[in-house]
Amino acid sequence: MTLNQSTLNTLLSRINLEQIAVATIVFAVGLLVGYLLRILVHRTTIRFMPTYISSLLAKATYYVIVVIFAIMALGIMGINVSGLILAGGILGIILGFALQSIVSNLVSGIFLYWERPFKPGDIVEIEGMAGTVVDINIMSTRILGFDGIMIRIPNEKVFTSTIKNITAKPVRRLEFTLGIAYKEDAEKAYNVLREVVEKHPLVLVEPPPEIYVEELADSSVNIKVRVWVPVREWMNVRKELLWKLKKALSNAGIEIPFPQRDIWLRSPVKVILSKDRDQEES
């Protein structure tokens, strides 16, 4: 008789039919509890999570419950499972360090689905990267940039970043700063700008447009123009309206100045014209 057979016989002698029956009942209860919790988790999470994430969480819950009850059943049968638990703990720690980034992205993805700061089709800006949200999966978020480049951002970075959802509201404000020369009539410029804004079909009446003198700058009187437009048309209105405002000021004969500087010299400066220089040289 070999050592393995002797050990096996010793182990079997310590297990009686009563322990086997109790262990079997415990394991069966574990299967039932795991099955019921699996259904409960799936029905609860499917309301606010994608199907594949809900199914993954339900399966993970089922297997964790089954493993726990299996260990309990082995303990009832008199089998020492401390070594197995220790090995499992060490393996779990190793896997935890190895899969830290993956788990972090997974958990962040779950919280993103729960919080819903944006959805596919929204225009967002994350960490200075702007574009249209194409997909939100369990590990990352994909954004199609305005330049046509697909951007993949890990969910961990998305969840911990400041997110600007540009299309979360139906309207968005536009701002322009237009400078006119000090010699120009500010009231005339105001009326010209007001007429352009009021005629534009995509500028909203409510909230009302705002036109006012913002600053008396070094070379110009700066007029601020604020309007509200539909968020989906924001970029088109911005390009069109800025051009129309500039053109209206030019057509009205209102000067848009460039920066000017007056230079003062401490000592007199002698200016020699080219003709005088030629005469001196001759």
Neighbouring CB atoms inside 10 A of 6's CB total 10
CATH number at residue 30: 1.10.287.1260
Facing residues of 171 across strands? 230
Judge if 201 and 139 occupy the same domain: no
Q: CA-CA distance, 276 to 270, in Å (whole number)? A: 12
The tokens 């994909």 sit on which residue? 142
Classify residue 107: in a domain, yes or no.
Answer: no
Please tell me the predicted confidence (pLDDT) of residue 200: 92
Assess whether 8 and 90 both reside in one domain. Answer: yes
What is the mean predicted confidence (pLDDT) over 200-223?
90
* Average pLDDT of the residues in 68-93: 71
Verify that 37 and 81 share a domain, yes or no.
Answer: yes
CATH for 145: 2.30.30.60
- 281 vs 274: CA distance, rounded Å: 11
Claim to verify: residue 161 and residue 181 sit in the same structural domain: no
Q: Are residues 132 and 178 in the same domain?
A: no
* pTM strictly above 0.95: no
Distance between CA atoms of residues 13 and 8, nearest Å: 9
Is the residue at 187 inside a domain?
yes
Span 219-242, average pLDDT? 90
pLDDT tens digits for 195-207? Answer: 999 999 999 998 8
pLDDT classification of 248: cutoffs 50, 70, 90: very high
In which domain, by residue range, is 157 found? 116-165
Tokens 């959805």 sit at which residue? 119
Number of structural domains found in the chain:
3
Q: Do both 15 and 89 map to the same domain?
A: yes
